[in-house]
Structure 1
Amino acid sequence: MGSTSSTTEPTGTPAEIAIIGGGAGGLAVLKAVLDSPQYKAGLWKPTIYEAREDIAGTWLPAPPEGDPPLTPLYDSLTTNLPHPCMAYTSFPFKPETPLYPVAALVLQYFRDYASHFALTPHIRLGIRIERANRDAGRWRLSLAGGETTHADLLVVANGHYTRPRYPDTPGIHEWVKAGRAMHSVYYRRPHALGRKLLVVGGGPSGRDIAQDMRTVADLVVHAGDEVPASKERIVGRGRVAAFEADGVVRFQDGTVERDIDYCILATGYEMWFPFLPEEVLSRSEPPPAPPLPTDLHNSTYHVFPLARHVFPLQERYPANSLAFIGLPIRVIPLPLMEAQARAVLAAFADPKLLEGEGEKVLARTARVRDPHKYHVFEGHEQFNYRDELYRLAARASTPVAGPGSIADGAAYTVADWEKELYDNKNVLRTLWVGIEQRGEAEQWLKGVGENGIDDWMAMTRKMLALAKKQNMKEEDVDGGMKQ
């Protein structure tokens, strides 16, 4: 990797850096700031503003109360990625941690991360930012309770698993109003909702909830584009076409299910930034591009136009003064957000890094036919993206990474072992569920991790050898759904 760290004392104007959100993205940005020579020289002052009573965002439990609830975290949630590749590159999980840890272990991981890197003194808990607008060339932050403060760089890391997305399927709103359906943001554990249930959504939460609910129902109908094959007390179906009276549900293939007692909608979430006013971020569909719009738009599916999925290319304020962290979808989020954090600080220190980025945005727009999928990454695209962010940051005329930071200021390159784990995540999770059910996890984990990543790769490759003997392939398994 090498090093491009500068031993020269950094110069520049002192700056306040405000970070909205104390979840995975906000913590990654805060650590990147504390690693910087600018912070160590007293030039940059970072503060996380977290509305809740503790850090960790989605991974911090809360009851299903409010509109919307504080988190969609349900009791049975485990990670759907093996933790060696899921972790921040700067901080692995502890040795002998289950390969796919439960939520409580992930919460403790974030607390350990904050403690290890001394992040806590820079975090203000229980502080909600009500509004962030431009005022005399800076960001004016209005906090709940009447306090006002200012920032030179505003980093938005509030996550996108809060405001539920309801489908526009005919009849669904009538079912919700009648108390016959709810969004999965309110789901916590299996409980009696009827003999025949419908779960809509083929993502990880939809799969987990379908598995949970079959323990309390005679039959679960699991509907969506990519639902697993039918199994005991679960029948897989395609997209829903209409919700009708008396528990009748019609599907797009023309088939019908009757006597549905209740429906849980695992249909995703809207991108939601309630603290950004219209003059900063318009709540609307962007006009067709090219050309790039002069304002920033939030379609609730994507924010546009954003350079590198981070920087707002518009004409109302400097593009390097506002950054969005964690918007990409179908990615390994924590290491990706570390890379975004490095790029954010580099562009803040050297605005010229963003010159010519508009052309790249237009090029991606031309490639991605559905604009709502602008932030969706396919295959290894996420790894190329991470590498590109580090290369971008390494070009900054003013270094923003010093000793102790990722790659020590140079361009980090995603390791092959990270890609290997990601490419086999579903097979590994399926195998791991079986290992835990047979009570074999302790013997598999004994001493693993004490010698770093080599231990974890030896264990997972042993698992993949078993998968090969069983002719188990990534495309044929259901993502490790609990049996």
Structure 2
Amino acid sequence: MSSCRERRRYLGYHRQKSAQSKGELRLRVLEAQCVNRIRPSINRGVWVYNDDDTRGEASAMYNGLVTNSSKEMMCFSDFAFPPEYPPYLSTHHVIKYYRDYAKYYDIEKYIKFNTEVVDVSPTDDNQTTGQWNVTTRQRDQEQLIEQTDIFDAVMVCTGCHSKCKIPEHPGMDEFKGQIIHSNTFRRGEDFAGQNVLVVGASHSAGDAATQCSHHAKSTYISLRNGCYVLARRGPKGMPMDSVANRRFSSNLPGFIRSKMLSSLVESRMDVDNLGLRSDKKDVFSSSIMVSDSLPDRILNGTLKVKADIERFTENGVKFVDGSCIEDIDTVIFATGYDTTFPFITREIFDETKMELFKHILSPKYTTLAFVGAVGAPGAQGPVFELQARWTVSVFSGSVKLPDLETRQIEAKERVDNMLKQYGYLKIKFAPVPYQEELASDIGVKPTLDMFLIDPKLAAKVFFGPAYPPSYRLKGPHTWAGARQAIMNGWENTTNPTKTRHITKQNGLNPIFPAIVLFALILAIIF
């Protein structure tokens, strides 16, 4: 059993401002709750919103959550979102889409629900058969039933957001306010009348801070190194991710892409006056936050930006720039997660190193793959889908692997590059180049000969958004609806918002943003 401190960090903790005995009783209650709640959530999926404070269980959905990626960029490559869905989606849109997908392809019969995987280990003859023992646990009424089955291959698809991470700061034990992780955040109105500090520089930090700023007495957000704040609306009102993630621009040198994105951010706000400027000039090495309203909340005084935390005091926080807040009721740490796979021992795979061939495959065990253990600015679902398709191609033998030494060297080089870019272990990269790499391996990458066969489609594919259906145009497992999905991408994005008829003389050419970006590149170079 983990220590009291570890359990309190996992859940967040609250120490009563009254007598110490009551505070100790509260801590003992939290410890007892932790024993039950640290188990995987039952009957609750990641996208299922629940009002309860789930204390670190699977779902971290909060009221009012809207996707950071637009629907045309985050769809499955062979299943378009309904055209009537808005460009950016609420949780009920997303969960219905996934359920519709499962129903359409009749895959629920292959899913064993309400089942916890407790151990994955190689069989005694794994070196020759590649097989695995998988032990699962199910609750039958009041009884837990365990069973072990043998599988030819295993894909671990639990992702990298599993164990809440709260950094250590001096004085935390003496702080009398409430400390929670953003995983337990549900509504801004829960903090009405309080003084709230949100810690973090990514999407959930921005959402928690802006929601609290509508209800709290005062709201602050602490940024360690600053961040780049992107709106969902890009140039000419196009979804930002559909502008940023395109094949032609992804082939540009990194410093040019970083300069283009930083120039766009600074054209919309004064990052110095708002206290948001990142210490890192390279956008892709810095924290990126998607938030439409955070700059406005700063401008109207309901949200204030603070530096990194130096230490906690009994009732407040002191920051590294010397400033202090003397009366804090709640601190919300939106500081991410530690990647962990508790059902696999570190002798099999060490998640503290994350050395995986192609960021997917165990170099040593070629029938053990990790899908979704990466991050990307923009839609991540299509990245995970291509990882799954690549893995299946490896398992089936259609993609041949290099020797063990080559796989180990390649896996370490990828991690070393991440360490060099971020200064710590963070597996996050631009999605399009990585998707193209995997797509090339399995034979589904779009090629330039499309310009001879279907020039209109080719223009959309190479200069327009990198829509997921572009990986269903050729190679194995093509989709008959791929061309239509790509050609109608802009129409499906804009039509749901056209609820008032307006006559325009000149409509927006979907290729126009590409021309604008090309002009901007020339301006930067010359």
TM over 0.5: yes
Q: Distance in 2 between matches of 1:252 and 1:465?
A: 47
Q: Label 1:464 to 1:347 Cα distance change in 2 as closer, same or farther (>3 A).
A: closer
For residue 142 of structure 1, report the CA deviation from its aligned partner: 1.1
Q: Does residue 272 in structure 1 map to residue 357 in structure 2?
A: no
Q: In the alignment, what sits opposite 1:167?
A: 167
TM-score, scaled to structure 2: 0.60
Match of 1:310 among 355, 360, 375: 360
Q: In the alignment, what sits opposite 1:241?
A: 310
Q: In the alignment, what sits opposite 1:182?
A: 180
Deviation string for 1:20-72 (max 9, x for gaps)? xxxxxxxxxxxxxxxxxxxxxxxxxxxxxx97436xx4212245455522311
Q: In the alignment, what sits opposite 2:428?
A: 376
Q: Distance in 2 between matches of 1:415 and 1:150?
A: 44
Given that 2:64 and 2:90 are in contact with CA atoms closer than 8 Å, whether structure 1 keeps it comes out as yes
For residue 96 of structure 1, report the CA deviation from its aligned partner: 1.6
- Residue 204 of structure 2 aligns to a residue whose secondary structure is helix
Q: In the alignment, what sits opposite 2:115?
A: 127
Q: Label 1:67 to 1:173 Cα distance change in 2 as closer, same or farther (>3 A).
A: farther
Q: Distance in 1 between matches of 2:345 and 2:441?
A: 30
For residue 100 of structure 1, report the CA deviation from its aligned partner: 0.8
Which amino acid in 2 is paired with 1:256?
Answer: C
For residue 349 of structure 1, report the CA deviation from its aligned partner: 2.3
Q: Distance in 2 between matches of 1:279 and 1:63?
A: 39
Q: In the alignment, what sits opposite 1:17?
A: none
Q: Distance in 2 between matches of 1:455 and 1:311?
A: 38
Q: Label 1:173 to 1:100 Cα distance change in 2 as closer, same or farther (>3 A).
A: farther
Q: Does residue 327 in structure 1 map to residue 348 in structure 2?
A: no
Given that 1:241 and 1:252 are in contact with CA atoms closer than 8 Å, whether structure 2 keeps it comes out as yes
Given that 2:354 and 2:415 are in contact with CA atoms closer than 8 Å, whether structure 1 keeps it comes out as no
Q: Distance in 2 between matches of 1:466 and 1:199?
A: 39
Q: Label 1:100 to 1:133 Cα distance change in 2 as closer, same or farther (>3 A).
A: same
Given that 1:129 and 1:142 are in contact with CA atoms closer than 8 Å, whether structure 2 keeps it comes out as yes
Q: Does residue 418 in structure 1 map to residue 465 in structure 2?
A: yes
For residue 371 of structure 1, report the CA deviation from its aligned partner: 6.5
Q: In the alignment, what sits opposite 2:285?
A: none
Q: Distance in 1 between matches of 2:510 and 2:218?
A: 33
- Residue 438 of structure 2 aligns to a residue whose secondary structure is helix
Q: Label 1:211 to 1:391 Cα distance change in 2 as closer, same or farther (>3 A).
A: same
Q: In the alignment, what sits opposite 1:398?
A: none
Q: In the alignment, what sits opposite 2:43?
A: 53
Given that 2:87 and 2:494 are in contact with CA atoms closer than 8 Å, whether structure 1 keeps it comes out as no
For residue 362 of structure 1, report the CA deviation from its aligned partner: 3.8
- Residue 103 of structure 2 aligns to a residue whose secondary structure is helix
Q: Label 1:158 to 1:392 Cα distance change in 2 as closer, same or farther (>3 A).
A: same
For residue 194 of structure 1, report the CA deviation from its aligned partner: 4.2
Given that 1:71 and 1:162 are in contact with CA atoms closer than 8 Å, whether structure 2 keeps it comes out as no
Q: Label 1:353 to 1:374 Cα distance change in 2 as closer, same or farther (>3 A).
A: farther
Q: Label 1:457 to 1:215 Cα distance change in 2 as closer, same or farther (>3 A).
A: closer
For residue 163 of structure 1, report the CA deviation from its aligned partner: 1.7
Q: Distance in 2 between matches of 1:58 and 1:87?
A: 17
Deviation string for 1:62-101 (max 9, x for gaps)? 4545552231110111101111101112111101211111
Given that 1:240 and 1:252 are in contact with CA atoms closer than 8 Å, whether structure 2 keeps it comes out as yes
Given that 2:84 and 2:492 are in contact with CA atoms closer than 8 Å, whether structure 1 keeps it comes out as no
Q: Label 1:464 to 1:373 Cα distance change in 2 as closer, same or farther (>3 A).
A: farther
Q: In the alignment, what sits opposite 1:385?
A: 434
Q: In the alignment, what sits opposite 1:149?
A: 149
Q: In the alignment, what sits opposite 1:348?
A: 395
Task: Give structure 1 stretches of 5+ with no counterpart.
Answer: 1-49, 282-296, 396-412, 422-448, 468-483
Q: Label 1:321 to 1:451 Cα distance change in 2 as closer, same or farther (>3 A).
A: closer
Q: Label 1:362 to 1:466 Cα distance change in 2 as closer, same or farther (>3 A).
A: closer
Output aligned runs, 1:429-444, within 5 Å.
none
Given that 2:171 and 2:311 are in contact with CA atoms closer than 8 Å, whether structure 1 keeps it comes out as yes
Which amino acid in 2 is paired with 1:273?
Answer: F
Given that 2:119 and 2:134 are in contact with CA atoms closer than 8 Å, whether structure 1 keeps it comes out as yes
For residue 298 of structure 1, report the CA deviation from its aligned partner: 1.5
Q: Does residue 77 in structure 1 map to residue 65 in structure 2?
A: yes
Deviation string for 1:110-141 (max 9, x for gaps)? 00111111111111111111111112222111
Given that 1:169 and 1:240 are in contact with CA atoms closer than 8 Å, whether structure 2 keeps it comes out as yes
Q: Distance in 2 between matches of 1:231 and 1:265?
A: 23
Which amino acid in 1 is paired with 2:76?
Answer: Y
TM-score, scaled to structure 1: 0.65
Q: Distance in 2 between matches of 1:109 and 1:140?
A: 33
For residue 151 of structure 1, report the CA deviation from its aligned partner: 0.9
Given that 1:70 and 1:162 are in contact with CA atoms closer than 8 Å, whether structure 2 keeps it comes out as yes
Q: Distance in 2 between matches of 1:155 and 1:74?
A: 29
- Residue 205 of structure 1 aligns to a residue whose secondary structure is helix
Q: In the alignment, what sits opposite 1:363?
A: 413
Q: Which of the pair has more CA radius of gyration?
A: 2
Given that 1:383 and 1:414 are in contact with CA atoms closer than 8 Å, whether structure 2 keeps it comes out as no
Which amino acid in 2 is paired with 1:453?
Answer: G
Q: State percent identity of aligned pairs.
A: 24
For residue 205 of structure 1, report the CA deviation from its aligned partner: 0.9
For residue 463 of structure 1, report the CA deviation from its aligned partner: 11
- Residue 464 of structure 2 aligns to a residue whose secondary structure is helix
Output aligned runs, 1:439-454, within 5 Å.
452-454=488-490
Given that 1:386 and 1:414 are in contact with CA atoms closer than 8 Å, whether structure 2 keeps it comes out as no
Match of 2:326 among 247, 258, 265: 258
For residue 324 of structure 1, report the CA deviation from its aligned partner: 0.5
Q: In the alignment, what sits opposite 1:455?
A: 491
Q: Distance in 2 between matches of 1:371 and 1:357?
A: 24
Deviation string for 1:320-342 (max 9, x for gaps)? 21111112213421111111011
Which amino acid in 2 is paired with 1:325?
Answer: V
Given that 1:365 and 1:371 are in contact with CA atoms closer than 8 Å, whether structure 2 keeps it comes out as no
- RMSD value over aligned CA atoms? 3.3
Q: In the alignment, what sits opposite 2:26?
A: none
Q: Distance in 1 between matches of 2:509 and 2:323?
A: 40
- Residue 81 of structure 1 aligns to a residue whose secondary structure is coil
Q: Distance in 2 between matches of 1:84 and 1:415?
A: 16
Q: Does residue 94 in structure 1 map to residue 82 in structure 2?
A: yes
Q: In the alignment, what sits opposite 1:476?
A: none
Aligned residues: 347
